[in-house]
Structure 1
Amino acid sequence: MNKGRKTVLNSMIRQIHCVVVSLLCGVAVSTACAESPIRPGDRIAIVGNTFADQLRIHGYLETMLLQQWPDNPVAIRNLGWGGDMLNARDRPTNFPNEEETLTAHRTDVIIACFGMGESFAGEDGVQSFQAAVDAFIKSLEGKQYNGKSQVRLILVSPIANEPLGKLTPRHEQRNSELSAYSQAMSEVAIAAEVPFIDLYQTSRYLIDERVGPNFTTNGIHLNPYGYWAVSHYLFRDLVQDDLASVQPPWRISVDAADLTVQAHGIDVSDTARTEAGLTFRATELIAPTLPPPTDEDVPPQLHHFRDSMTIANLPPGTYELAIDDVSVATANHDEWARGIIIDTSPAHQAAEALRRAVNDKNLQFTYSWKALNQVHIVGERKKSPSGRALPAEVIEFNRLAEKRDANLRDAIQRETRNWRVSRIEL
């Protein structure tokens, strides 16, 4: 097979694989629950292992959920704890009771991420894990943390094990075990009519694509890029019955010859030709996508999560796109005709600022919920000035988290901006 035909075939296989994974993820959720797992205005608590805990410091999933319903945003508290398992969730002395925290947050829905730590028990531990999942589901029956309705539950499987050479000598065996535990969780969820999201299959597919950076630091703990990638799929499964309003990324296509424009995600008006190129005004109808935290090329199946612009029939030369006089992208006429990723615009910078605000809110809550120095709580410094001040400081940090929550609502903006494409001399 020649190189060109092989490249085309591989591209077709990747596209088909992507569709299959998306369908599998959708089936995993919809089989267990007819409604969208997350709804506008939900007050959400995330519990579970290191995967859950680290969601709070990257902020991609929470930012996407906030952008989904700007007029009625969700509110999230992350109670994840590194190393947690369903039957091993130890906490320090005098640590706040989880039910009290869930009640204080008026929790509507719990996203529970388990199975990674349990999977180290191997095939022999699958039945015990199933029993633990079933007991966990039953433990939430009748609980009304929001004071009006039974709390809803969403179960999330562990991710796959990424092969990283000497760091992961047993990755094939580990993936066999992780697959078994994910399947076990799925069976319990379906029987209990609880939504289940299979991140094992999704992450296994992403990890098997060797284009782009690694997803994990050690095979099982996602790095920032891994959280960016996996959060896109997790987000879509969480709002899977609201997919009609889950808009694809911005897609702008301009014909420089006749000034016709096709656009999705923004509304284009006042298109005009200039001596150096063209200009138009664009009103943002949906939020921009968050750029990946890497300078490396991302795999082909992740391209459709990124905003892009195509300009056909530009005269030969190099052209710069500026939005509100901010330089965003520079490429030659052939590159513009093929399409350019747009992810450094003022709107994208605002989305990144929102993500940083999300992370700051989560940090304030962590300070209020997970005191970092136990010696001031139960140790020798309990009666010191700093120890005596700690309860009031905890209350203040919680107040700051609540205030940050309110501020996030105002940080979701849609603007009308001036776009300009101009030929430049290099």
Structure 2
Amino acid sequence: MNNIFLSTALIIGCLTAPTTIADSPVRPGDRIAIIGNTFADQLRIHGYLEAMLLQHSRENPVSIRNLGWGGDMLAARDRPTGFPTEESTLMAHKTDVIIACFGMGESFAGEKGLDDFTNQLKTLIASHAGKTYNGKSEVRLILVSPIACEDMGKLTPGRDERNRDLASYTRAMQDVATDADVPFVNLLDVSRYLMDEPKGPQLTTNGIHLNAFGYWAISHTFFDQLRSDDRFSGRQSWLLRIDAATKASDGRGVDISELATGPSGLSFQVTEKSAPTLRPPIDQQLPPQLEFVRDTLVVENLKPGKYQLTVDGELVATATAEAWAAGLAIDDSPVHKAAEAFHAVVNDKNLQFTYSWKALNQVHIVGERRKSPSGKNLPAEVIEFNRLANELDSSLGKPIELKTRRWRVSLTSQ
């Protein structure tokens, strides 16, 4: 068990090490704006990265506005008539750092488009140089690579060529970031590594657009690369290990105390020290590289039989003694449910912001319905949506409460 957790952690750790080492790219208290393509746009819908950043900057939480737009490329970022400028939105948010996700759409130009892509990246960096959107300090920029192309059979006939081009564009982005002393996040390597794993669910819907599981999986490495020092409390999954025979115990992310054993099982006290990990949005078995990401309880040397885990009286999981000895995910506990509720608020905040910033039907603004009752009411509705987004953002500044709880592993049958 130890060897499995250690080896997978080391593999993912090697892949998630920041390519460009600098001061931590994202810091507690940062006001962040995300710009870029469909990958960036969909980050706001799934919310895993933002929930992690918030829960691990508990004392001084970040604040995020997602300005991603499906299909955006560096040189093609068209907006409807009368749409607010990006600079005005960055200033309204008092932005400290911009996370820029590009390269997927541009990569379809192949090798011949690399020079243009490189120049466009340099232009992006230059366009923000010296800008103080927060009114006091120069904005920081982070470049994020595209993900790899997943093998979807007939849906992705040119997958190998796609990945060669994506690798070339990722190297170009890394070179530009290095030359400009800008932090760089490499999502290509880890995404391809996970996509090539034969076990586990697929990460995308069509080869290049992540599904819900894909965002859950990639957000872990994304988070790790957004911090290169210890000012964020370390995002490590919980691992609780108990030996029912010797009464030895050890906890990562939690403290274990008051362990008591008896004929029908055992009980112990768990003090939550760090935020729990959100459960994956699927019921399928995870690829082996990600099994260690889930919060896990290992109980060795239980007598044969089936045991149930309760936390403060709430049923969390039921399994055989053999399964508990191998390690079982425990991400349905009360604090995990609180984390899921927090995650839902993150997604609601992003939805309200989207309604306030990105009107879904321009005909009510510049078209034939602008003088209709709905068109006339739109400005007031936009103001209300923005108020709701700001209100929810403020509520997210209060992280979920970490408590001390009583855990019991009780025999249910022989």
TM-score after normalising by structure 1: 0.93
Is the CA contact 1:59–1:355 (under 8 Å) kept in the aligned structure 2? yes
Which residue of structure 2 lines up, in the alignment, with residue 73 of structure 1?
61
Structure 2 Cα separation of the partners of residues 253 and 38 of structure 1: 32
> In structure 2, the residue corresponding to 1:107 is in which secondary structure?
coil
**Distance in structure 1 (CA, Å) of the matches to 2:67 and 2:26:** 18
Match in the other structure for 1:124:
112
1:261-300 alignment runs, 5 A limit: 261-300=249-288
Partner SS, residue 28 of structure 1: coil
> Where does the alignment leave 5 or more consecutive residues of structure 2 unmatched?
none
Structure 2 CA distance for partners of 1:160 and 1:18, relative to 1, 3 Å = farther
Task: State whether structure 2 residue 220 is matched by structure 1 residue 232.
Answer: yes
3-state SS in 2 of match to 1:83: coil
CA distance in 2, matches of 1:354, 1:198: 28
CA contact (8 A) 1:21 1:201 kept: no
SS at the partner of 1:240? Answer: coil
Q: 2:20 maps to which residue?
A: 29
* SS state at 1:273 partner: strand
Contact 2:18 2:225 in 1 (8 A): no
* Unaligned 5+ runs, structure 1: 1-10
Correspondence for 1:167 = 155
Shift of 1:24: 4.8
Alpha-carbon shift at residue 219 of structure 1 (Å): 0.3
Partners of 1:277 and 1:365 lie apart in 2 by 49
Asked whether the 8 Å contact 1:15–1:301 carries over to 2, the reply is no
Give SS of 1:381's match: coil
Letter in structure 1 aligned against 2:394: A
1:83 to 50, 54, 71: 71
Q: Report the secondary structure of 2:17's partner residue.
A: helix
CA distance in 2 between partners of 1:290 and 1:334 (Å): 25
How many angstroms apart in 1 are the aligned matches of 2:124 and 2:345? 33
Task: State the distance in 1 between where 2:189 and 2:281 align.
Answer: 23
Q: Secondary structure at the match of 1:64?
A: helix
Deviation at 1:15, TM superposition (A): 7.8
Whole-Å separation in 2 of the counterparts to 1:119 and 1:186: 14
Residues 1:165 and 1:18: Cα distance change in structure 2 (over 3 Å): farther
Runs of at least 4 residues off by over 6 Å: 14-18
Q: 1:196 to 1:106 in 2, by over 3 A?
A: same
- The amino acid across from 1:336 in the alignment is W
CA distance in 1, matches of 2:105, 2:117: 10
Deviation at 1:387, TM superposition (A): 1.0
Answer yes or no: is the 8 Å Cα contact 1:162–1:216 preserved in 2.
yes
Q: Is the 8 A contact 1:266 1:286 kept in 2?
A: yes
Q: CA deviation at 1:239?
A: 1.2
- 2:337 aligned partner, one-letter code: Q
Q: Percent identity?
A: 59
More deviation, 189-198/338-347: 338-347
Who is 1:206 aligned against?
194
- 2:392 is the counterpart of 1:407: no
Superposed counterparts of 1:249-268, under 5 Å = 249-268=237-256
Q: 1:409 to 1:84 in 2, by over 3 A?
A: same
- Considering fraction of residues, name the structure with more helix: 1
Post-superposition Cα deviations, 1:134-175, rounded to whole Å, max 9, x if no partner, equal: 010001011000000000000000000001000000000000
Letter of the structure 1 residue corresponding to residue 229 of structure 2: D
2:351 is aligned to 363
Counterpart of 2:23 in 1: which secondary structure?
Answer: coil
Does the 8 Å contact 1:29/1:237 carry over to 2?
Answer: no
Are 1:322 and 2:310 matched, yes or no? yes
Aligned length: 412
Distance 2:289 2:62 in 1: 28
1:145 maps to a residue whose letter is Y
| Partner secondary structure for residue 319 of structure 1 | strand
- With normalisation by structure 2, the TM-score equals 0.96
- Report whether the alignment pairs 1:223 with 2:214: no
